[in-house]
Structure 1
Amino acid sequence: MTLKQLEAFYWAATLGSFSLAATRLHVTQSSLSKRIAELEDDLGSVLFDRTGQRAIPTDAGLRLLDHAAHMLEVESRIRSDVGGGPVRGSSRFGISELIAATWFPNFVARVQLEHPHLTLEPQVDLTNGLLRKLERGELDFAIIPGPAASPALLSEKIGELEYCWMAAPQRLAKGTTLTAHHFQEHPVITLSPEAGLAQAFERWLAAQELQIPRALTCNSLTALIALVTAGLGISFFPRRYVEPYVRAAKLVELKSDPPLPRLAYCFHWRAADTRMAVTSLRTISRETADFTLTAPLVPAT
């Protein structure tokens, strides 16, 4: 029995797929299958039910899963304690577009300094898609709005954003207090329902008993800003993030009563995942997160 065999088994069982596990470990599927077959021969037990399309652990496989996770955690701690501290290997994780455009480069620089042998594999997507991948084990963690509702996930708040309504000055005057009439008259442009921000907006609407007859959606914060500055409708943005657009008179701030709620950003990870890499990257994200940074592309005046 080797650690590579246990690693292959652990990820195949966690992801429910030999193919996904092979991709995760950067090996061919045949190599991964060979490791698992060797482990089964060594233990004298069949570890997967191979009759279906998914890799479903047998009873013996389920008994082995916790042991395999523990052995991989021990290996990680040995490398950390004896090898001088840096984490090795790779980490696949999810972030929002806003994080990618603001403080993520600082996060990467810190990781490269402290863990030069750790390969980062970020995925930029909307909240719900990243949460699904995290629950399935396809990601190690995700830094997105939260906290997560799933009992399988843990969340640590690392910051929050203040949101406000915005419009192009040719559509509404600065300081306009929005009423139900404005929402009837002006299209509201939001991110798709897959975004955590869109979910917070829906809760705000329900609390105010407001109806939005005309709504446009998109999957990109950058595109959303462009649509609003073009005068196609109104939307809500992180106040600090869009400051350059306000200073350039491309956007004006509107008022609402009550104001929009602040949105918490959290580091999410699987409750059963105690690996040193996840713990270390959670610490780095907490220490490098900076939600006061503005949009990187200042519009021309």
Structure 2
Amino acid sequence: MRFTIAQLEAFFWTAQLGSLNKAALHLHMAQPTISLRLRDLEKALDVTLFQKNGRSLALTAEGFALVPRAAALLEEADRIRLQTDPAAVSGSIRVGFAEGFAMTCLPRLLETVREDYPLLKPEYVVSISYELERELNDRHLDLAVLVNPTGRHGMRLFPLGVQDTAWVASVAWGLSPEVRPADLYRLPIVSNQPRSAMFRQIKDWFATAGLEPQRLDLCSSVAVIGHLVSSGAALGVLPAKMMEADVLAGRVQVLRPVPDLNHGRVYASYPDGGLTAPVNAMLKSIQKALASMDYLRVDKSEA
């Protein structure tokens, strides 16, 4: 008796999510169907893959050993399906984007996906990278584009490049083009919350001089931070591309920091075994959209 890809898929998502019900919801199937496929897989392999642990399921030694092999087979199966007819890739996908990245890149990405994968049905979620990483880990997202991710067990990271960031200020402030921590730490600054990549960039930069910003206000929206900076309410560290229109309009100036900021390394991330045809299609679309915009530069440390 041979096992099937469908049985491996039922096994993999039950193992990843820890219950038959969650696996059924993720795969849009009835729970009895998942149970049947697991029984048939155990029969085909002549092993026991799960044992009950209270209300949840725990992997046996044989089940634990099968997880990475099942992940590799499922990813390869989806690559084969994708190569057969890319335009026929269909289904729903939830994709997360860091907000600063999304503000500049999402319009082009929407056009790319519509042209190349007309049957794909994406749902776009925008937040800070830390929250997106948590949502991805909880399987509420299928794919996420993250800036300076912390990296989590069971998650693949695919490097996309470096997002240049800069200190930006209203021209009304009349600041020198070159700035050091001692020049800015007394000025009002606005940032995302403490778990964000932006907050870490700001704190790390001042720490190079042993300083702390005296007034650091927090705001959950990168778009609003950009507005606050252009209106002269505060300084901020923002994606350089995002502020290009304000620079050209003469509203803000991009400052040259000494030392340089730790620029944002951008990654696409998805769960082990989660490179489905929709995820692969979206990943290709993201790369294509970025290439057409010249948005990211190559991260030489990843080359």
Tell me which interval the TM-score lies in, with the shorter structure as reference length.
0.7 to 0.9
Which residue of 2 is the match for residue 198 of structure 1? 199
Secondary structure of the structure 2 residue equivalent to 1:37: helix
One-letter identity of the residue aligned with 1:110 = T
Identity %: 26
Which residue of 1 is the match for residue 141 of structure 2? 139
Q: In the alignment, does 2:35 pair up with 1:37?
A: yes
The answer to whether the 8 Å contact 2:15/2:59 transfers is yes
Q: In the alignment, does 2:106 pair up with 1:108?
A: no
Give me the TM-score of the superposition, normalised by structure 2.
0.77
Residue 34 to residue 165, structure 1, CA distance change in 2 (3 Å): same
Unaligned runs of 5+ in 2: 297-303
Which residue of 2 is the match for residue 244 of structure 1? 245
Secondary structure of the structure 1 residue equivalent to 2:89: coil
- The offset of 1:271, in angstroms, is 5.2
Secondary structure of the structure 2 residue equivalent to 1:201: helix
| Aligned-CA RMSD value | 3.4
Between the aligned partners of 2:206 and 2:233, the Cα distance in structure 1 is: 20
The answer to whether the 8 Å contact 1:148/1:268 transfers is no
One-letter identity of the residue aligned with 1:211 = E
Residue 228 to residue 183, structure 1, CA distance change in 2 (3 Å): same
Secondary structure of the structure 1 residue equivalent to 2:167: strand
Unaligned runs of 5+ in 1: 294-301
Residue 13 to residue 119, structure 1, CA distance change in 2 (3 Å): farther
The answer to whether the 8 Å contact 1:134/1:269 transfers is yes
Between the aligned partners of 1:10 and 1:241, the Cα distance in structure 2 is: 40
Q: Give CA deviations for 1:118-159 in whole Å, capped at 9, x if unaligned.
A: 322332221122223334544333212136544644433323
Q: Identify which of 76, 79, 82 aligns with 1:80.
A: 82
Q: Give CA deviations for 1:29-84 in whole Å, capped at 9, x if unaligned.
A: xx1x2123223443367654444465533445435534543553454245335556
The answer to whether the 8 Å contact 1:175/1:253 transfers is no
Which residue of 2 is the match for residue 288 of structure 1? 289
- The offset of 1:221, in angstroms, is 0.6
Between the aligned partners of 1:180 and 1:79, the Cα distance in structure 2 is: 53
Between the aligned partners of 1:177 and 1:70, the Cα distance in structure 2 is: 50
Q: Give CA deviations for 1:162-206 in whole Å, capped at 9, x if unaligned.
A: 322222344x21436445554443122111123223223333222
Equivalenced residue count is: 288
Which residue of 2 is the match for residue 220 of structure 1? 221
